[in-house]
């Protein structure tokens, strides 16, 4: 593989374990991106009430209640429990939680393209240098990559990202109406959690060179 004209190799592919992990994570990546894209197309087909073909900002969405628990207290200071999940179509021209959506297209579009390319290059570099036994981190990076690519596909093909998962809750006195998100955003957050979890675990890094020096590993590879 070449990045910016330089050949990039992945040492863990020299081992049988590394090859198996690569195959498994490739399947995870394709499944995550595929589920994200399929869910967005389904949301567009079923949740769109009306749209103006000449203006992406002009549309009307349907709201489909999925599940609801508890009730919202009339007094915000009264402790309570409430959880609601709706499906609601929304077009996001910005980043997560609609950040930067008010930027001019001449700045916003190149910015997001550039950030995505840099993120992909960073993830591939990190995967190249990652110890072989850091499985959660490798899984997390692939999930982050799949989420980034899922939203990037939307930006390239549509000019915006489709969001449709709407969650709000009341936990004791904490009232929160979460920003509308999608499967790609879920994948990114799963990846971040996996990445952070392994960073908290005491573990001795196992490099490819350690495995190659083992007679058992040499015979297996």
- Give the C-alpha separation, 119 to 145, whole Å: 8
- Give the C-alpha separation, 10 to 8, whole Å: 7
- Give the C-alpha separation, 106 to 195, whole Å: 34
Note if 185 is an active site residue. Answer: yes
Of the candidates 36, 154, 166, 185, the residue annotated as catalytic is 185
Handedness of CA 189, 15, 215, 213 (dihedral sign): negative
- Give the C-alpha separation, 20 to 211, whole Å: 15
Of the candidates 102, 163, 166, 210, the residue annotated as catalytic is 163
CB 164 within 8 A of CB 96: no
Note if 163 is an active site residue. Answer: yes
Catalytic residues: 163, 185
């Amino acid at each position: 593989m070449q990045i910016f004209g330089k050949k990039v190799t992945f040492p863990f592919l020299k081992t049988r374990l590394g090859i198996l992990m690569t195959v498994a994570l490739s399947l995870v990546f394709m499944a995550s991106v595929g589920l994200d894209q399929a869910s967005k197309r389904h949301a567009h087909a079923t949740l769109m009430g009306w749209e103006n073909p000449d203006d992406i900002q002009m549309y009307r969405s349907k709201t489909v209640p999925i599940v609801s628990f508890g009730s919202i207290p009339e007094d915000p200071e009264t402790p309570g429990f409430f959880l609601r999940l709706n499906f609601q179509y929304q077009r996001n021209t910005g980043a997560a939680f609609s950040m930067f959506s008010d930027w001019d297209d001449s700045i916003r579009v190149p910015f997001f393209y550039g950030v995505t390319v840099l993120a992909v290059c960073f993830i591939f570099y990190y995967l190249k240098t990652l110890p072989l036994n850091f499985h959660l981190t490798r899984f997390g990076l692939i999930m982050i990559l799949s989420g980034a690519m899922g939203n990037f596909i939307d930006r390239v093909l549509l000019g915006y990202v489709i969001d449709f998962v709407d969650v709000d809750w009341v936990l004791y006195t904490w009232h929160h109406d979460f920003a509308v998100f999608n499967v790609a955003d879920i994948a990114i957050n799963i990846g971040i959690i996996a990445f952070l979890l392994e960073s908290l675990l005491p573990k001795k890094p196992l490099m490819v060179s350690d495995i190659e020096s083992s007679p058992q590993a040499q015979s297996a590879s």
